[in-house]
Amino acid sequence: MKTVSTLTLAIVAMLGTSSVMAAPPGGGHHGGAQALEINAPSIQIASIKSTLVNNQAEGNGTDATQNLASNSGKVQINALSVQLVSTKDSSVTNHADGSDAVALQNIASNADDVRIDSTSVQAALIKQSSVNNYAQSDSYASQSLASNANNVRINSGSLQVALVKNSGVYNTAKRHGNAIQNVASNNGE
């Protein structure tokens, strides 16, 4: 965690900018995505220690979206974007249960129709933690860690890192559930 703190301070000092969280409401499977345009360097950092982070859609037609240091929806940055999430001694879960239930969880990731047009650095540092993605009963659960999913365009360098130590990363689908998990990956349509 000390390394993460030092890295964070160095990046903020180097760029001379503040943290921006891009998580527009209404984005996701059932709702319409909102537009958010930054046009400047964007630094997003979430440090989680000894904590439970839970995103859950339970029941028919429910929808839950959770973004940690992520861009989701119709976001356009056009500059450097640094996204960093570190977890230690924690549990991060994404769970969908019920007909047409949808749970979307993005961790240091870009999802939906995001456009950056410059360098993008994404890192998920997971130590002594559990990361779970679970879908059952005709539901859909999508979890991305340091990843790009759907119609994301970067058009420059992209560094995606997932460092996992003494941890478990699980992706489970049961009874017609659809569970998708991206770890330091690119996943198009």
DSSP per residue over 61-105, as a string?
T-EEEEEES-EESEEE--S-EEEEEEEES-EEEEEEESTT-EEEE
Cα–Cα distances (Å) from 97 to 16, 92, 137, in that order, read 43, 17, 6
Task: Give the span between the Cα atoms of 130 and 127, in whole angstroms.
Answer: 9
- Residue 22 confidence (pLDDT): 33
Residue ranges, the chain, pLDDT below 50:
4-31
Q: What is the pTM of this model?
A: 0.78
- Residue 156 confidence (pLDDT): 77
- Residue 118 confidence (pLDDT): 76
- Residue 92 confidence (pLDDT): 95
Supply the DSSP symbol for 167.
-
Q: What are phi and psi of 177, to 5 degrees?
A: -80, 155
- Residue 16 confidence (pLDDT): 40
Check if the beta carbon of residue 79 is closer than 8 Å to that of residue 40.
Answer: yes
Helix (H), strand (E) counts: the chain: 1, 18
